[in-house]
Structure 1
Amino acid sequence: MRLVVARCEVTYTGRLNAYLPEAIRLLVFKADGSVLVHADSGGYKPLNWMTPPTVIEDGEGTIVVRKRAGRSEDRLEIRVLELLAEFEHELGEDAGLEKDGVERHLQEALADLPGAVEAGLRLVRREWPTDVGPVDLMCRDADDSWVAVEIKRVGTIEAVEQLSRYLEVLRRDPALAGCRGVLAAETVKPQARTLCEARGLGCVEVDLAGLRGEREPELTLFEA
């Protein structure tokens, strides 16, 4: 991981355009190709970012991050006016975030009953490996098409972004080019549901107690 503290300007062009005027910011370059631009306010969310895969080009006073986006290209250009600090360190392989009890039990229950996510769905594998982390459930639907299912206790915008990253990597394989995604959670936030619809993803609310037969199942499906 590379950390840079610099006085800089940041210009993003692609699906939309954005500009950050001159200020001191923290630039984070991760080994997987992620790039994040942080200010010293605003909580944990970056001001701008690029998800992998990216190409990073260091020039004279500029850092350019490029990413293919369909037929077009997203571009993040960082103009460094003053370099204040720079640090780079190899973090090694991450052990990963262990799911909390609810998510783990929900994954186990849905692996046994994938039809609770979508009628006709059948499990192929749990924890399907990708370069950006394991997909909770890889399934096939009634038409024998691939479906990636991401499971959360609470479905948030971050969960949608995570599922989108998985799909981006999965679809590089021609055999999985038509893979679609579904977010399954006990509760799906309205903003996450809206983002799912905008990206053509499905989302479903599932009740763990219902899956276990402790009460009548409650299931609400939202599709784009």
Structure 2
Amino acid sequence: MGDVRLVIAECQVDYVGRLTAHLPRARRLVLVKGDGSVSVHADDRAYKPLNWMSPPCWMSEEAIDDTSPEWATAVWVVTNKAGEQLRITVGEIEHDSAHELGVDPGLVKDGVEAHLQELLAEHVTTLGEGYSLVRREYMTAIGPVDLLCRNQSGESVAVEIKRRGEIDGVEQLTRYLELLNRDPLLRPVHGVFAAQQIKPQARTLAEDRGIRCVTLDYDKLRGTESTEFRLF
């Protein structure tokens, strides 16, 4: 992992690939992360970028030419393995800094999520007949997968466990699957998104990406009956 680079500059952004998208000239934050990803942000939309390129991708710089706007000072070209490009035409740069963040310990799950992971590892056939556990907290370059399993066909399955299943969790599992499926010893790697509650939007996104959703019954996994509606 390299440094994280933060650039605030006047820029226009053009995405060229399966579709085209254009962001006209404005002051924006360009974030270049140590994993190679590049994202362009405005001062809204919370954490969501206006446009981005996920790794593996590579950034190069082109000199301006007669086709460049008169205000341009450089063109940064981010290209992924599919040949798609994010072309950032840069004007005045107000801030440009690089920072070494070091190794991140990753997200620490709360007590319920940690216990769900432990219980599901012990009762992995909850996910399906013939499932077996390979390992808990299977480490990848971008963090640990909660469970790595084998299904009844002997194929790898990455399992992400949440208390509340939301879109962020599906995105997290998607990144793990993209990385794991590059490993010839593991692929094909399927995905299971397991949670006590799964929001409809998260379920729709997961199923659209070929990820199976499993709703977990915490009390059943613990081997106890729910007391939610009991008076005594």
CA distance in 1, matches of 2:225, 2:55: 42
**Alpha-carbon deviation of 1:79?**
0.9
Quote how far apart the aligned CAs of 1:98 are. 0.8
Residue 19 of structure 1 pairs with residue 22 of structure 2: yes
Match among 22, 34, 55 for residue 31 of structure 1: 34
- The amino acid that maps onto 1:147 is V
Greater Cα shift, 15-24 or 142-151: 15-24
- Give me the whole-angstrom Cα distance separating, in 2, the residues matched to 1:100 and 1:48: 32
- Where in structure 1 do 4 or more consecutive aligned residues deviate above 4 Å? none
Aligned with residue 136 of structure 1, among 143, 146, 158? 146
Q: 1:93 to 1:164 in 2, by over 3 A?
A: same
SS of match in other structure, 2:143: coil
2:48 is the counterpart of 1:45: yes
Whole-Å separation in 2 of the counterparts to 1:112 and 1:202:
20
How is 1:56-205 mapped onto 2 (pairs within 5 angstroms)?
A: 56-60=59-63, 61-68=74-81, 72-205=82-215
TM-score normalised per structure 1: 0.89
In 2, Cα distance between equivalents of 1:136 and 1:66: 31
The more displaced of 108-117 and 7-16 is: 7-16
Q: Per-residue deviation at 1:54?
A: 1.6
Task: Give, in whole Å, the separation in 2 of the partners of 1:156 and 1:13.
Answer: 30
Q: Secondary structure of the residue that 1:120 maps to in structure 2?
A: coil
Closer, same or farther: CA 58–101 of 1 in aligned 2, 3 Å: farther
**1:4 to 2:14 alignment:** no
Unaligned runs of at least 5 residues, structure 2: 64-73, 227-232
State the 1:107 CA deviation: 0.7
Give the Cα–Cα distance (whole angstroms) in 1 for the partners of residues 18 and 111 of structure 2. 38
The alpha carbon displacement at 1:180 in A equals 0.7
Question: For structure 1, which runs of at least 5 residues remain unmatched after alignment?
Answer: 217-224
Contact 1:117 1:206 survives alignment (8 Å): no
The C-alpha deviation readout for 1:36-57, integer Å capped at 9, x for no partner, is 2111112222112222222121
* Distance in 2 of aligned mates of 1:49 and 1:119: 40
Task: List per-residue Cα deviations over 1:148-177 (Å, max 9, x = no partner).
Answer: 111112222221111111111111111222
Q: Deviations over 1:185-219 (max 9, x none)?
A: 11112111111121111111112122112226xxx
Say which one has the larger Rg: 2
CA apart distance, 1:118: 2.3
Q: Is the CA contact (8 Å cut-off) linking 1:129 and 1:135 kept in structure 2?
A: yes
By how many angstroms is 1:17 displaced? 2.7
